[in-house]
């Protein structure tokens, strides 16, 4: 969508078409992760169309978008968050009188539904995948029941929308709005400078560099990647290195953590300790530099029953930097990677096929401009237009 049509879409929707929006979420900065970034941008983009108030964990007010009011509640334990956020939701339903109450994930859908009914507003949730598939019986009985009663449900991918329909959410109340991405303005000279500086800082030299970005959970598949795929890559590219950016989550809804120490131990067991580096969590320009420094982004997500990958924002972030992704074709990843354009999709579990795809991209790097063009369809501005359209 061009800039002119983007502005026309915003003008035609108008702030009055949406009105006041109350967002209730446990996923918001300063917590780090894809869902936290998404909810920040969700609040920011919706603030262009109406007045926004967010109920979120403590510390969120310091990171809030300009003009967005934040009501803070305790993050831990989960029960305390739910009680406090639910109570504040009722207070804001009376005081703020929202036209929409939006749950930042399925976790807060019951709170959004109750606050919306009190305010005589419409209730909506943005769902991510796991919040529809969590196998806990109480969650299935209470939370999915609330999701079925919402006025709208917005899914982050086709795979998540399929989970929503399977959970009993009517197709007529269901929309798909893919998450967005920052589109960095990095010219070739700056990208090369950042690549060189990052590699020098971390002592990476000119080695072929594979990059993994994200929370270290069992679903992300780094442990099997180190054991099954990386040895195949190293055999054919002996100087290859896997750089891991991220850490094990502390506040995930149900994800099983894979501590970095365990992944590094697996590398040592395989005799690959000199081919794996963990640098912890990176933000801002440091993370951009990591994308610039890498040759291939690897996203070996596993198919785990009850723990789906809803989308795969890091694959689009990599594409925004002209970096191709190799990923297993599972869940919402197939919406985040365009096979043959922004990277390669491999049959889930095919370690040899994954290694072959990585090596092919190392030997025959694709044109970065074509990869970036794919990412341009996921700009946060376009996300905001589609999100607003789903609420009118």
State pLDDT tens for residues 362-384: 999 999 999 999 999 999 999 99
Residues with Cβ within 8 Å of 173's Cβ and at least 6 positions away in sequence, in order, are 150, 151, 152, 153
Mean pLDDT score of the chain, rounded to an integer? 92
Q: CA distances (Å), 126 to each of 35, 129, 220, 224, 330, in order?
A: 10, 10, 22, 31, 20
Q: Does residue 160 sit in the same domain as residue 289?
A: no
Domain residues for the domain of 360 are 188-376
Please report whether residue 237 resides in a domain.
yes
Using CA atoms, how far apart are residues 88 and 122, in angstroms rounded to an integer? 17
CA 298, 265, 218 angle in degrees (round to 5)? 50
CB 290 within 8 A of CB 250: no
Q: Which two tokens stand for residue 218?
A: 């069992």
Q: Does residue 345 sit in the same domain as residue 266?
A: yes
Q: Which two tokens stand for residue 115?
A: 């606050």
Q: State the pLDDT confidence band at 96, using cuts at 50, 70 and 90.
A: very high
Q: Helix, strand, or coil here: 25?
A: coil
Please report whether residue 381 resides in a domain.
no
Which residue among 176, 207, 222 closes a domain? 176
Q: Does residue 218 sit in the same domain as residue 171?
A: no
| pLDDT digit string, tens, across residues 264-275 | 999 999 999 999
Q: Does residue 356 sit in the same domain as residue 249?
A: yes
Q: Does residue 215 sit in the same domain as residue 140?
A: no
Q: Does residue 139 sit in the same domain as residue 250?
A: no
Please report whether residue 389 resides in a domain.
no
Please report whether residue 216 resides in a domain.
yes
Q: State the pLDDT confidence band at 255, using cuts at 50, 70 and 90.
A: low
Query: Average pLDDT in the 139-160 region?
Result: 95
User: Which conformational region is residue 385 in: left (phi greater than 0), alpha (psi within -120 to 50 degrees), or beta?
Assistant: alpha
Q: For residue 275, what pLDDT is reported?
A: 98
Q: State the pLDDT confidence band at 254, using cuts at 50, 70 and 90.
A: low
Q: State the pLDDT confidence band at 300, using cuts at 50, 70 and 90.
A: very high
Please report whether residue 386 resides in a domain.
no
Which residue among 128, 155, 176 closes a domain? 176
Please report whether residue 314 resides in a domain.
yes
CA 331, 184, 69 angle in degrees (round to 5)? 80
Q: For residue 326, what pLDDT is reported?
A: 98
Q: Which two tokens stand for residue 368?
A: 């970065």
Please report whether residue 387 resides in a domain.
no
Exposure string over 362-374, b if 16+ CB within 10 A, otherwise e: beeebeeeebbeb
Q: 32: domain CATH number? A: 3.40.50.2000
Q: Does residue 98 sit in the same domain as residue 201?
A: no
Q: Does residue 203 sit in the same domain as residue 161?
A: no
Q: What is the pTM of this model?
A: 0.88
Q: CA distances (Å), 61 to each of 38, 56, 58, in order?
A: 16, 8, 7
| pLDDT digit string, tens, across residues 333-348 | 999 999 999 999 999 9
Q: Does residue 172 sit in the same domain as residue 222?
A: no
**Angle between the N-to-C axes of helices 34-46 and 380-390, in degrees from 0 to 180, rounded to the nearest 10:** 70
How many structural domains are present in the chain? 2
Q: State the pLDDT confidence band at 9, using cuts at 50, 70 and 90.
A: very low
Q: For residue 276, what pLDDT is reported?
A: 98
CA 16, 20, 25 angle in degrees (round to 5)? 140
Q: Does residue 301 sit in the same domain as residue 192?
A: yes
Q: DSSP state, 367?
A: P
Which of 64-73, 191-200, 242-251 has the least mean pLDDT?
A: 242-251
Q: For residue 2, what pLDDT is reported?
A: 38
Please report whether residue 183 resides in a domain.
no
Q: Does residue 137 sit in the same domain as residue 10?
A: yes
Q: Does residue 52 sit in the same domain as residue 119?
A: yes
pLDDT at 50 over 50: yes
Query: Average pLDDT in the 122-136 region?
Result: 93
């Amino acid at each position: 969508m061009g800039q002119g049509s983007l502005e026309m879409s915003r003008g035609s929707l108008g702030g009055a078409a949406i009105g006041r929006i109350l967002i209730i979420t446990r996923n918001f900065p300063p917590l780090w992760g894809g869902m936290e970034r998404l909810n920040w941008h969700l609040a920011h983009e919706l603030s262009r169309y109406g007045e926004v108030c967010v109920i979120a964990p403590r510390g969120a007010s310091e990171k809030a978008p300009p003009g967005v009011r934040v009501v803070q509640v305790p993050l831990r334990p989960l029960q305390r968050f739910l009680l406090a956020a639910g109570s504040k939701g009722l207070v804001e339903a009376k005081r703020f009188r929202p036209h929409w109450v939006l749950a930042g994930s399925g976790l807060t859908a019951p709170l959004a539904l109750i606050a919306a009914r009190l305010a005589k507003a419409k209730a909506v949730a943005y769902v991510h995948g796991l919040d529809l598939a969590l196998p806990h019986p109480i969650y299935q009985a209470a939370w999915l029941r609330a999701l079925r009663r919402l006025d709208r449900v917005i899914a982050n991918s086709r795979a998540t929308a399929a989970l929503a329909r399977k959970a009993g959410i009517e197709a007529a109340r269901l929309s798909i709005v893919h998450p967005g991405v920052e589109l960095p303005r990095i010219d070739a000279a700056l990208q090369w400078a950042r690549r060189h500086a990052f590699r020098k800082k971390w002592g990476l030299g000119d080695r072929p560099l594979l990059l993994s970005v994200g929370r270290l959970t069992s679903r992300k598949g780094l442990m099997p990647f180190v054991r099954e795929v990386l040895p195949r890559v190293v055999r054919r590219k002996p100087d290859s290195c896997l750089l891991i950016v991220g850490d094990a989550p502390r506040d995930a809804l149900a994800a099983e953590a894979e501590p970095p120490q365990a992944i590094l131990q697996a590398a040592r067991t395989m005799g690959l300790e000199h081919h794996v580096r963990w640098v912890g969590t990176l933000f801002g320009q440091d993370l951009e530099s990591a994308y610039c420094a890498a040759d291939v982004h690897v996203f070996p997500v596993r198919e785990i029953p009850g723990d789906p990958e809803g989308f795969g924002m890091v694959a689009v972030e990599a594409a925004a930097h002209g970096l191709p992704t190799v990923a297993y074709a599972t869940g919402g990843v197939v919406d985040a990677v365009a096979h043959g354009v922004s990277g390669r999709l491999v049959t889930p579990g095919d370690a040899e096929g994954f290694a072959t795809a990585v090596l092919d991209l190392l030997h025959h790097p694709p044109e970065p401009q074509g990869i970036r063009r794919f990412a341009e369809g996921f700009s946060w501005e376009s996300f905001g237009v589609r999100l607003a359209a789903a609420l009118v």
